[in-house]
Structure formats: C-alpha cells, structure tokens
Amino acid sequence: MNWLFSLVLTIHILVALAIIGLVLVQHGKGADMGAAFGSGASGSLFGSSGSANFLSRSTAVLATVFFITSLVLAYVASEAPKTSGSVMQEAVQSVPAAQPAAAPESQGSAGGPGSKEKDIPR
C-alpha cells in the first residue's frame, strides 16, 4: 500500500506543476483586445484562437486528474493503520509525572495554615 501512496503522490505533484505551468502560459480575457488591433497573436504556435481551446481543455483534463488523485490520496491515507491513541495522549504519557510537593509535617501548629487560631492584631 505504501508504493501506491508514493505513486499517486508523485502523479499528484506532477499534475499540480503542470496545471501551474498551463495557467501561467494562458492569456487573460483582456489579451484578445490586443489581438484585435494587430498585436501579432495570429502568428502564435496554435494559430489565432487555437491556443485558448487547446490550453483550456488540457487544463480541464489536468484539473480532473488532480481531483481524482486527491480523492485517492485521501482514501489511501484513511486506510492506513491507526496508531493507538492520539498524539496528545502519547505526549502526556511521555512526560514524567511531577513529584508531589512535600506535605507540612504538622498542620495543627500555632499559626500554620490549618490552625484555628487567627492572627489578631493587638
């Protein structure tokens, strides 16, 4: 199962990088205005309007693959064997218990916290 997770994660990262590249290569909606005034967009690699169609379709395909790999990664991670307890329980168990404070030897002594005599100003 570990090899499946590594394979899907590798595909997921490569698809994410490809999506980033495709989005950066595409031109915005306002770029068509420049082509109308003869900025030379018709001499591009895919023709005057072919790049928008090809790039948007390939972006949609890669986005679908990215979504599917995300779901597969979530499923594989949820099927992984669970550890016993939570992280917080393990952290609490690993900390040594604090030593209790030393109890006073006699709580009934005069003036002590447990005495019945009160300090009365004279």
Give the Å distances, CA to CA, from 119 to 37, 63, 107, 122. Answer: 97, 79, 16, 9
pLDDT tier at 122 (50, 70, 90 boundaries)? low
**pLDDT tens readout for residues 37-79:** 655 545 555 555 556 688 889 999 999 999 999 999 999 888 8
The pLDDT, as a whole number, for residue 95 is: 58
CA distance 40 to 110: 100
CA distance 62 to 16: 8
pLDDT tier at 99 (50, 70, 90 boundaries)? low
- The model carries a pTM of 0.53
What is the Cα Rg of the chain in Å? 35
- Burial of residue 76 (CB within 10 Å: 0-12, 13-18, 19+) is middle
CA distance 102 to 8: 58
Rounded to the nearest angstrom, the gap between the alpha carbon of residue 50 and the centroid of all alpha carbons in its chain is 37
**Percentage of the chain lying above the pLDDT 70 cut:** 45
CA neighbor of 2 nearest in space, from 66, 110, 79, 100: 79
Q: Which whole number is the average pLDDT over 75-89?
A: 73
